[in-house]
Amino acid sequence: MIGDPVALTVRRRIERPSASLLARFAGIPTGFVTDALNGGGAMSWRVKPIDPSSIFHGSAVTALCPPMDNLAVMAALDYVQPGDVLVVGAQFSEAAGMIGDLWASSAKARGVVALVTDGLVRDVTGLLKVGLPVFALGYNPNSAFKNGPGTINLPISCGGVSVEPGDIVVGDRDGVVVVPRLQAEAVADRLEAVKKKEAEMEAVMATAAARTRSFWNEEQTKARGGVHYVD
């Protein structure tokens, strides 16, 4: 490239989902959310909570960082609001920890409800004490630089999923799911059907019928392409 890159590109004003819409995702398992998203929306299986009991939902603030650099995630704390989830695209870098316990303590004090990154973190003992849900690839005590180039509140990729500021992000022990903001109302509506169906299934499985419950339809499978029995 010609010349030095811009160290940091920031969108200061973003549109967030309403509090009432966010509330519809509170406590919803990620599996339910993916069902309402037609079976998709989940980040890579490698993005997991450092504390398996972690659960969160919130509105995305995005940061993009190159390998071994965390300028954008450090600066992003100046642009968060209570209820935000900071989603950091780190390109699956394993060179250094993107954040540590002091950053997490400040983020929690500002109302951030979770940190999600497809990079690494550090200071795990301190992070667990802070209690902020942190989802990452793993841990590495190496320190990152603060040079950039990075972005804040622009579209990013994290964990193999596109994330835009204002998207709804949900996380639990199974992983992280991203609901595009413009689809969130429709997804929330479909969640009601998913919850009803799950409740019906659980009721069936709690009865004697569970012993004969089939998880596939033989006749439909035959109609679609046939079933070949070798015996």
**Higher confidence at residue 68 or residue 200?**
68
Residue 29: is it exposed, middle or buried by C-beta count within 10 angstroms (0-12/13-18/19+)? middle
pLDDT of 43 strictly over 90:
yes
pLDDT of 1 strictly over 90:
no
Answer yes or no: are the C-beta atoms of 175 and 45 closer than 8 Å: yes
**If you average pLDDT over residues 15-36, what whole number do you get?**
97
pLDDT score at 3:
73
pLDDT of 224 strictly over 90:
no
pLDDT of 59 strictly over 70:
yes
Answer yes or no: are the C-beta atoms of 158 and 117 closer than 8 Å: yes
pLDDT tens-place string over residues 127-136: 999 999 999 9
**If you average pLDDT over residues 205-229, what whole number do you get?**
76
3-state secondary structure of 202: helix
pLDDT of 184 strictly over 70:
yes
- What tokens appear for 223 in the block? 């109609």
Q: Which helix (H) or strand (E) holds 184?
A: helix 184-205
pLDDT tens-place string over residues 70-121: 999 999 999 999 999 999 999 999 999 999 999 999 999 999 999 999 999 9
Average pLDDT value for the chain: 93
The 8-class DSSP code of residue 67 comes to T
Give the Cα separation of 175 and 160 in Å (integer): 13
pLDDT of 211 strictly over 80:
no
pLDDT of 208 strictly over 70:
no
Which structural domains are found in the chain, ordered by start? 8-191 (3.50.30.40)
pLDDT score at 209:
64
> Which DSSP string corresponds to 37-66?
TTT--BPPTT-EESSTT--EEEEEEEEE--
Percent of the chain, pLDDT > 70? 95
3-state secondary structure of 152: strand
Give the Cα separation of 89 and 157 in Å (integer): 6
Residue 69: is it exposed, middle or buried by C-beta count within 10 angstroms (0-12/13-18/19+)? buried
pLDDT score at 210:
63
Provide the β-strand partners of residue 62: 87
